[in-house]
Structure 1
């Protein structure tokens, strides 16, 4: 009862100011380390504030690992990097039982999944069984070793990467697995000016100057405050209308575009919209959500949840076009 009362309590100006201060410090630290990927930093911060998971898709060398490490350093969290390969097995990630000859007993050894931030590099190179074990840990936020259950850290964010151009030796994530990621980000190459700045920062060895600008307590503070951000019933209906429109494109969109949609978004998409809208509102220093908060991360929320037909690939129709058409067809409150 006390927890429900706390969630319903209006956010004060002092709480907003404290949250904005933490957020600004995190953004400043990220921008001082990572060049040319502001959207990635924004999504990682939203994921941190909502305790959600992020799927990153790009060709190699676009600072995915660096960005994940930087956000971990910024809050002084624990970080694990797991390089996914076809021979990786679930116990390599979750943990296993080890025999201790000194005590003549088996001891539980927790795997690298037990961290605040876990980077799954090239997740699509691991086998379906390994992917399933990791995604189960992401959903349940606990692991079981030798019949004993271990709760994962209170702040637990998985950042999975995949390379879209190399398909040899990969295991494509199923729709059900993709749906478990709060956001999906696609990264592009930096422009020439940003690339020169990257060279300058590497030359000056900027990445060795590590100093946390926030703490895990600050992250938990943002998470709790996020849950208290007010979202009006009209905004909730707006979210549901967008999700419903994605499932009934023939009724909302131009038939030429509607034919390219094979499957619409699930209820998880509606939940993701609500959670990200609250985080965006807080980032903007507000205690309530507006329609633009819902639309701010529409691509990231929907691009892995709307499945297109083979005809869309053949006709070079991007999922972002479909998302814009869906959101544009729904009346904004």
Structure 2
């Protein structure tokens, strides 16, 4: 899937501006951003619930706007505007069978039985965890190539969360399918994804490949003899914390040459700390604090 130049204005307010990225087969990609950054709006555009003001989405070099049948390859449940909430699981199943020609009904019934869900139950009456589990079963059985999952682990207890993640990993890896996952649980997201897209200021500002990021980026704790911070640190890092003379910062391109230049300022402390996706989120999205 190629997303190219998507922009959207709602109520005269820009929601998304010039969004571009690609999704490859068999990828798990995280979509990371602060509340209100436009993650759900982006999902709604990709799923066809909103039309973009500009831009295009292509699958196999064909625009989904010129070839509407391609939308069967995209799965999204908009939990915030879920018009099926009042129906039974059986009726919701019938809706998705009609919407996705490749829907795997045999697998659906197998998973419903395996996880002890009743088709006669009302979706609204299910617990938050069971709703999340049912949504993941629908996503998997749709046989859509691209799954858009908006906070799929939110409010799930440990046992159900493991079931949901297990279903996702098992069935994506077997069928060359791709998931784009928006989640505020960054520690859990990091353990699943290959890439993280950072949404800030209505656009994608970073595309982190986590394996590459771990090779080039470093989280450092530094202490210098005075509170004056060397220019090399200010120019090459993003601050996470600054207390007294103790600086904790992320260097996204930490090279031996940069390390040598920092060491030339005789830091009292020069220590590498474990770097997480949460650190990158904080370094890029928290309000800037000026280094002296």
TM class, shorter-length? 0.3 to 0.5
**Structure with a larger share of its residues in helix:** 1
Flag the structure with higher strand content: 2
Task: Return the TM-score normalized by structure 2.
Answer: 0.33
